[in-house]
Amino acid sequence: MTPDPSHGFGTRAVHAGWAPDPQTGAVMPPIYMTSTYVQDAPGEPRQGYEYSRTQNPTRFALQDALANLEGGAAAFACGSGMAAIHTLLLTLQSGDLVVAGDDLYGGTGRLFRRIEQRFGLRFLYIDTSKPEELARIPADTRLLYLETPTNPLLKLTPLALAVAAAHKVGAEVVVDNTFATPALQNPIAYGCDYVIHSTTKYVSGHSDVVGGALIVRDAARKEDVWFHQNSAGTSNSPFDSFLTLRGLRTLHLRMERHCANARRLADFLEAHPKVERVIYPGLASHPQHALAREQMRDFGGMLCCEVQGGEAAARAVVARLELFALAESLGGVESLVELPVPMTHASVPPEIRRQLGINDGLIRLSVGVEDGNDLERDLSQALAGI
């Protein structure tokens, strides 16, 4: 069946992007592992397929599903989240101004500062969680780049205000929706022009594939993005697209468990005497808890904390954890833990980390779908050792 817009998110997650194959009845899309396609005559490709960098049925199935779930006109599956960001920036011109949130994934900041700037793009970093900062974005802003919630400090941007401020000066808005996923938040519904995902994370959900996606709000943006993706060769492979789509089919179920476990652990940590600070949008203590309740359907599976004793104690905690694997990345079914400063955000200059409050002892948890009581016991025994 092909889902229609009236169907719920879970139904669309299971069915969007592919109907049973009319020739074989295949319920799931085959992996079309071909580099090229036979043409009926020179310049007359059969059914529109020429070359797999440009068109591939497996990738198209994933793209159609992502566009459906995010409410966009089209989606583009890329080789990684960074490839998706780069693809969008390729559509800009030298001299264009990108206003970005100050708390970004370290790899995104590295791409902006050390690569994209070399080709003439200008960047201004602001605290997009503050409405007054959004209201002052420069008149020549070309693109407003947001993460909400941010990585790693889980700050939120008020999307309605951000879109209004950007569109007022003629700028477009892109949201990295990796932490929230389309199951919890749909930026396009607020008027955002683009959505970015590292599909490596929650969308695929099993820590076995790397990918990214760029979704566009309306058809007018589709051709420009497609031209740059095809020209730069940032598209995802058929096999990776297949794995990502397989994971996407259970996104709604996994996110329910991620969120439930994260809420439980956030409450546990906030009440623990050895924990100094917990950052989780689902806690009433989060300064933007009300905004999270307004624009998210649940609060996600990511949280951060700091323990008594600073960096040394944080290192001791992560070393003692058993179920939480010490590893970068996030969003898989298994629980992961990391220290952002020496790991995912090592490329962020130390002075910027200090300014943002990314302390050496900050612990970031990607809460998986294991039994919540087991995860709580693991944290309890790790904290007992400091």
* 199 neighbors 251 (Cβ within 8 angstroms): no
d(C-alpha 276, C-alpha 9), whole Å: 37
Closest CA to 369 of 291, 264, 244: 264
d(CA 296, CA 293): 6
Q: β-strand 325-326 against 336-338: which pairing, if any?
A: parallel
Q: Whose structure tokens read 């080709």? A: 119
Give the length of the chain: 386
| Neighbouring C-alpha atoms within 13 Å toward the C-beta of 362 | 22
In single-letter form, the type of residue at position 63 comes to: Q
Contact between 153 and 103 under an 8 Å Cβ cutoff? The reply is yes
201 is catalytic: yes
**What is the C-alpha separation between 280 and 304, in angstroms, rounded?**
7
State whether residue 56 is helix, strand or coil: coil
Annotated active-site residue in 102, 176, 193, 378: 176
CB atoms within 10 A of CB 277: 15
DSSP tag of 205: -
Question: Which amino acid is it at 256?
Answer: E
Q: Which residue has the tokens 């020549």?
A: 140
Q: DSSP string spanning 268-333?
A: HHHH-TTEEEEE-TTSTTSTTHHHHHHH-SS--SEEEEEETTHHHHHHHHHHH-SSSEE-S---SS
Q: Is 105 a catalytic residue?
A: yes
**Cα–Cα distance measured from residue 223 to residue 228, given in angstroms and rounded to the nearest whole number:** 9
| Residue in this structure with the two tokens 């002892």, named with its chain if needed | 361
End-to-end CA distance of the chain: 55
Q: What is d(CA 107, CA 81) in angstroms, rounded to the nearest whole number?
A: 10
SS3 119: helix
Q: Is 64 left (phi over 0), alpha (psi -120 to 50) or beta?
A: alpha
Which one from 105, 194, 202, 280 is the annotated catalytic residue? 105
Q: Which of 201, 221, 263, 353 is catalytic?
A: 201
Q: Which amino acids are annotated catalytic?
A: 53, 105, 176, 201
